[in-house]
Amino acid sequence: MSERALVSALGARAVELDAADELAGLREQFVLDDVVYLDGNSLGALSAGVPGRVDDVVRRQWGELRIRSWEESGWWTAPERIGDRIAPLVGAAAGQIVVGDSTSVNVFKALVGAVRLAGEGRDEILVDATTFPTDGYIAASAARMTGCELRPVDPDEVTSALGSRTAAVLLNHVDYRTGRCFDLPSLTSAIHAAGAVSVWDLCHSAGALPVGLDEHGVDLAVGCTYKYLNGGPGSPAYLYVRAGLQDRFDSPLPGWNSHADPFGMSPSYAPASGALRGRVGTPDILSMLALEAALEVWDGVSIDSVRAKSLALTDFFLECVSAYVPEGRVESVTPSAHAERGSQVALRCADAGTVMKRLIDNGVVGDFRHPDILRFGFTPLYVGFADTERAARVLAETLS
């Protein structure tokens, strides 16, 4: 088949796939332009409902009601209310997620809390050796503070590394570089069999694929909200504490907002019950309520449908890349097996930084990870198959 015919055939397939896409209508709920935006795994697109909500929060709730909004506008209950909105997207029942602080702060709370839950005689923390750097930094600090030894291990070696000394294990559900999805159910089961506590980082999976926190008995989990959940730059992260552990969860950051009687101003600390133990200080209301508005796009959306489209998009992208890009110019480091793939495709490419700059100049926005990775994130709520075909075609033109 000639190059022109191949492009025509794949382009026609993209049109057919978009026409059959049950999620295609959601694209209208985002502020988008003609750019192919494949960087939602770093920062999700703006939901069309957010600007109006933020305007109301600033002008009416803050500008007119002022301090009355803590009660009348529901500011005080926002962390747990928004947590309950996120819960179905990660397979959790209500009352187990609290929103607030950054992912880094929540990793610290979860990891130190996990060591305390593990109890006496366990003095070792296992951490994914390929993790996002901050998780590693936090894990090292948590180990020093709790008197534990930190052992970085490859995710494939976690099961064999577990032992009677292991207190907690911090793992990423999806690798931020390669897009590899790890086996959360079996790893969680192995961690529990060893008597340790599981802590999962969901930054690159929440909103892109099913997680099943309750189903698989995950103990603690954290995640950001500005990637596939489209909460906006710096939007607050969240902390999940399994219901059966909440009465024993001992946060290393006991702030007034997590006190059983926050306005009692007692000099001694008594923790609140439930997920509220994960709160610390005054919530960041402006960004939190922007996140709440952004999450409304998920009303009635099945995470299983999102996952099905994600896999279809990444399959189609890999097919188009294989068809369009000259052989040997790129190599996919993202697993081909669906069970091992997140919602991104990472391609190894010589001079990847320069290539990505040229792609962006030509209307395809992904990102670059040192030293040689082109990273393309597929957000099923607003990325279509025509976008996918165009991105592969522009990549081929860039590399020709």
How does pLDDT run across 293-318, given as a tens digit for each residue? 999 999 999 999 999 999 999 999 99
Give mean pLDDT, residues 158-176: 98
Residue indicated by tokens 């057919």: 16
Q: Which of 53, 309, 375, 393 is catalytic?
A: 375
> Is there a catalytic annotation at residue 375?
yes
Q: Which of 53, 227, 242, 390 is catalytic?
A: 227
> Is there a catalytic annotation at residue 108?
no
User: Is pLDDT above 80 for 2?
Assistant: no
User: Is pLDDT above 80 for 3?
Assistant: no
Give mean pLDDT, residues 327-336: 97
Give the model's pLDDT for residue 267. 96
> Is there a catalytic annotation at residue 156?
no
89 token code pair: 């997207």
CA nearest to 342, candidates 370, 379, 372, 369: 379
Give mean pLDDT, residues 233-251: 98
User: Is pLDDT above 90 for 257?
Assistant: yes
pLDDT above 70 coverage of the chain, percent: 100
Give mean pLDDT, residues 343-370: 97
CA gap 318, 161 in Å, rounded: 34
Give the model's pLDDT for residue 4. 80
> Is there a catalytic annotation at residue 372?
no
Cβ distance 107 to 125 under 8 Å?
A: no
CA gap 229, 86 in Å, rounded: 9
Q: Which of 21, 101, 135, 201 is catalytic?
A: 201
Give mean pLDDT, residues 114-137: 96
CA gap 14, 319 in Å, rounded: 12
263 token code pair: 């306005």
Contacts of 291 (CB under 8 A, 6+ apart): 82, 99, 225, 229, 231, 232, 235, 236
Give mean pLDDT, residues 50-71: 98
Give mean pLDDT, residues 77-101: 98
Give mean pLDDT, residues 265-277: 96
Q: Which of 30, 37, 108, 132 is catalytic?
A: 132
Give the model's pLDDT for residue 209. 98
pLDDT band at 7 (very low <50, low <70, confident <90, very high): confident
pLDDT digits (tens, 9 = 90+) for 183-216: 999 999 999 999 999 999 999 999 999 999 999 9
Contacts of 191 (CB under 8 A, 6+ apart): 158, 162, 166, 169, 197, 198
pLDDT digits (tens, 9 = 90+) for 12-60: 999 999 999 999 999 999 999 999 999 999 999 999 999 999 999 999 9
pLDDT band at 6 (very low <50, low <70, confident <90, very high): confident
CA gap 297, 39 in Å, rounded: 19
CA dihedral 290, 304, 179, 98 (to 10 degrees): 40
CA nearest to 93, candidates 106, 84, 101: 84
HEC secondary structure over the chain: CCHHHHHHHHHHHHHHHHHHCCCHHHHHHECCCCCEECECCCCCCCECCHHHHHHHHHHHHHHHHHHHHHHHCCCCCHHHHHHHHHHHHHCCCCCCEEECCCHHHHHHHHHHHHHHHHCCCCCEEEEECCCCHHHHHHHHHHHHHHCCEEEEECHHHHHHHCCCCEEEEEEECECCCCCEECCHHHHHHHHHHCCCEEEEECCCCCCCCCCCCCCCCCCEEEECCCCCCCCCCCCCCEEEECHHHCCCCCCCCCCHHHECCCCCCCCCCCECCHHHHHCCCCCCHHHHHHHHHHHHHHCCCCHHHHHHHHHHHHHHHHHHHHHHCCCCCEEECCCCCHHHECCEEEEEECCHHHHHHHHHHCCEECEEECCCEEEEECCCCCCCHHHHHHHHHHHHHHHC
Sign of dihedral through CA atoms 18, 20, 21, 26? positive
Q: What is the mean pLDDT of the chain?
A: 97
Q: Which of 30, 37, 176, 226 is catalytic?
A: 226
183 token code pair: 């086996």
233 φ/ψ angles, rounded to the nearest 5 degrees? -60, 125
pLDDT band at 392 (very low <50, low <70, confident <90, very high): very high
User: Is pLDDT above 80 for 264?
Assistant: yes
> Is there a catalytic annotation at residue 261?
no
